[in-house]
Amino acid sequence: MHIDCVGILGTKKTDKTGRPKHQGCEMDDSTLSLVLFSGTDDKLNAAAVLTAGAAAMGRKVNIFLQYWALAAFRADNVLKDHGAAPEAGAEGVEHLQRHGGQHWSEIFRQAKEIGEVGIHACSLSMEMFGLKVEDLDPLVDDQFGVASFFVEVDGPVTFI
């Protein structure tokens, strides 16, 4: 995976005439903190793509798994069908399944290879589901509480 301003994650930036735009590379390098709440495949895929994009641009990514997103990271659950947002409809789901690209778990795996990406389970949600860290996919590094999550927050906090 290339790590440059256009990368394999992005097609070259063009306007409506097809001309590439000049684009500087001075960037925000704060941590991107993602609170993953939703456990449908469309949102997890969007989250994985944002994670890979941020990691490819050299940003640290700090992920906090709650509720239905946490349930999707259970070791025995990752590769199952998690559906899509209700608004997707039958047509949307077909687009997702035929052209949706790599599985989100694979994109998260690659993001962890190319950058500094921590995936943390929320203790409260772990208790709610009666889960232990060993029950989760190896993508998940550890578990902690929301106050510890905020210790690592330095920049945007994005809820998905």
Residue list 26-45, contact with a copy of itself (CB under 8 A): 27-28, 30, 32-33, 35, 37-40, 42-43
User: Minimum distance between the CB of residue 51 and a copy of itself, rounded to whole angstroms?
Assistant: 9
Q: How many residues bind a copy of itself (CB under 8 A)?
A: 81
Q: CA-to-CA distance for 60 and 75, rounded, in angstroms?
A: 25
- Binders of a copy of itself among residues 45 to 84 (CB under 8 A) are 46, 49-50, 52-54, 56-57, 59, 66-68, 71, 82-83
Any contact of residue 12 with a copy of itself (CB under 8 A)?
Answer: yes
Q: Select the residue interacting with a copy of itself from 74, 75, 77, 96 (CB under 8 A).
A: 96
CB 126 within 8 A of CB 70: yes
DSSP string over 71-126: HHTBTTTTTS-----GGGHHHHHHHHHHH--S-HHHHHHHHHHHS-EEEEEEHHHH
User: Minimum distance between the CB of residue 140 and a copy of itself, rounded to whole angstroms?
Assistant: 9
Any contact of residue 106 with a copy of itself (CB under 8 A)?
Answer: no
Identify which of 30, 17, 22 has the alpha carbon closest to the alpha carbon of residue 6. Answer: 22
In the block, which residue shows the tokens 């997702």? 96
CB 36 within 8 A of CB 42: no
Q: How far is CA 63 from CA 13, 14, 31, 44, 87, in A?
A: 28, 31, 10, 12, 25
Any contact of residue 113 with a copy of itself (CB under 8 A)?
Answer: no
Residue 112 CA to chain centroid, in angstroms? 10
- Binders of a copy of itself among residues 120 to 139 (CB under 8 A) are 122-124, 127-130, 133-134
Q: Select the residue interacting with a copy of itself from 21, 76, 81, 90 (CB under 8 A).
A: 21
Q: Select the residue interacting with a copy of itself from 93, 137, 139, 158 (CB under 8 A).
A: 158
Q: Select the residue interacting with a copy of itself from 23, 76, 81, 90 (CB under 8 A).
A: 23
